[in-house]
Amino acid sequence: MSEGDGPAASGGESAPSAEKLRSLAVELARMAGGLLLERAQHGAEREVTSKSTPTDLVSEADVASQRAIRELLRKRRPDDGFVGEEEGESEAGTSGLRWIVDPLDGTVNFLFGIPQWSVSVAVADERGTLAGAVFDPNRDELFHAMRGGGALLEGAQGAVELGRDGAHDVAPERRTGGNASPGGGDLASAMVATGFSYDSEVRDAQARVLQSLLPRVRDIRRLGSAALDLAWTAAGRYDAYYERTVKQWDIAAGVLICERAGLQMRELPERERLPWGVLVAPGALADELLAIVS
């Protein structure tokens, strides 16, 4: 089996190529993003409930987006498994493939009218993520990647391959000493993105980590969509990203995009009051940053 191929489908059908799966992930993300953008333009959601804590919100928009994605997948890939954030939806499938979907990553931003939210769609086999897409409807930017291929950003400037030929260096004015990477490969000049738990006790522990990190980097950003944080790190807008309490639907597409752009992923092991998490950064920063935040 080649690197870009998935397992054989049920019924003896040939496996879909990673390219076809990426195309479908892109279609699903764009479709759901368009639906969400239309709802956002019509004002506040009528029904808002909470999940793990009173601050962990879910809206009609989250559910409608996931249902639209699920409906299209049932038509196109009925034998595939599915894992979605909303409604506890999970199906094993029979094809050996499963779709991992966050239908609205950044729900709180969406509800408050803050244009920092996205749709994340990934497909995985027994070896990990095969293809994924993260769509930002507010900026009409689409990030996508597939196993064995590159990572692309499709936006106002057309399609740009991330992590190749200086594509990470999207903000050359941020360079120091003429280095190629946005942060110059130096932790002290790095812009680092992160996120926080909805649980107050976990947040307290995260604040202590942040207190140790903040004096050692250029600055910290916390904008609210893990999928977009990962995509923006792949694009060089951040030098690194770390976050605990993330779930598979938050990071499946984004981590693949970062890895195909040449970044490295490290796991943050679970500690007292600090759940499992991930860190993504260039090799020159990854281990030094890991030592501080893990």
SS3 helix, strand, coil % of the chain, rounded to 5?
Answer: 35, 25, 35
61-70 pLDDT per residue, tens: 888 999 999 9
Q: Are 181 and 171 in contact (CB under 8 A)?
A: no
pLDDT at 2: 36
For 172-293, CATH gives 3.40.190.80
- Which residue ranges in the chain fall short of pLDDT 50? 1-12, 51-52, 54-57, 165-183
pLDDT at 7: 46
pLDDT at 86: 77
CB neighbours of residue 291 within 10 Å: 8
pLDDT at 48: 57
185-200 pLDDT per residue, tens: 799 999 999 999 989 9
pLDDT at 60: 85
pLDDT at 50: 52
pLDDT at 15: 73
Domain boundaries, given as residue ranges, for the chain:
10-162, 172-293
Question: Hey, what CATH topology would domain 10-162 get?
Answer: Fructose-1,6-Bisphosphatase; Chain A, domain 1 (3.30.540)
Q: Model-level pTM?
A: 0.86
pLDDT at 16: 86
Burial call 261-287: b when 16+ CB within 10 Å, e when fewer: bbbbbbebeeeeebbebbbbbbebbbe
pLDDT at 103: 96
